[in-house]
């Protein structure tokens, strides 16, 4: 499994990387939407993109619309991870094609539970 982590903050990318690596994902990082699109164009096929909203060059919302407009990436799961937390913004992101939404700040559990919800990680089997 592979996760593409898109955030202009190196700190946030490292926080997210630690969480998904624990879940067994390999990761690629991008500092904005354009860089992330370049990764996809050059053949990277992540299972999920974790996407910040506010970034220089290309924001996360634009990235989502661009990915959804292209058949090649229709199997990629898109999850916003952003401080944008108005009701209307979440509605917009979902309408543009995001599958899930995590509001910053979050705890690691929140990311893990959303990945379970998306069927990307098997739930812990109780002993």
Binding site for another protein (CB under 8 A): 8-12, 14-15, 18, 54, 56, 82-91, 93-94, 98-107, 109-110, 113-114, 116-117, 122-123, 125-127
Least separation, in Å, of the C-beta of 7 and another protein? 8
Least separation, in Å, of the C-beta of 99 and another protein? 8
To 5 degrees, how large is the angle CA 75–CA 21–CA 73? 15
**Among residues 37 and 93, whose Cβ is nearest to another protein?**
93
**Among residues 11 and 42, whose Cβ is nearest to another protein?**
11
Least separation, in Å, of the C-beta of 100 and another protein? 5
**Among residues 22 and 41, whose Cβ is nearest to another protein?**
22
């Amino acid at each position: 499994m592979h996760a593409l982590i898109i955030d202009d903050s190196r700190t946030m990318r490292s926080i997210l990387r630690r969480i998904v690596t624990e879940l067994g994902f390999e990761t690629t990082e991008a500092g904005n939407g354009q860089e992330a699109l370049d990764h996809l164009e050059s053949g990277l096929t992540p299972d999920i993109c974790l996407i910040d909203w506010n970034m220089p060059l290309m924001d996360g919302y634009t990235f989502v619309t661009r990915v959804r407009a292209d058949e090649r990436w229709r199997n990629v799961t898109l999850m916003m991870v952003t401080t944008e937390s108005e009701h209307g913004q979440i509605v917009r992101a979902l309408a543009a094609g995001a599958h899930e939404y995590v509001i910053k700040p979050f705890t690691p559990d929140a990311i893990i539970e959303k990945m379970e919800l998306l069927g990307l990680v098997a739930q812990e089997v109780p002993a």
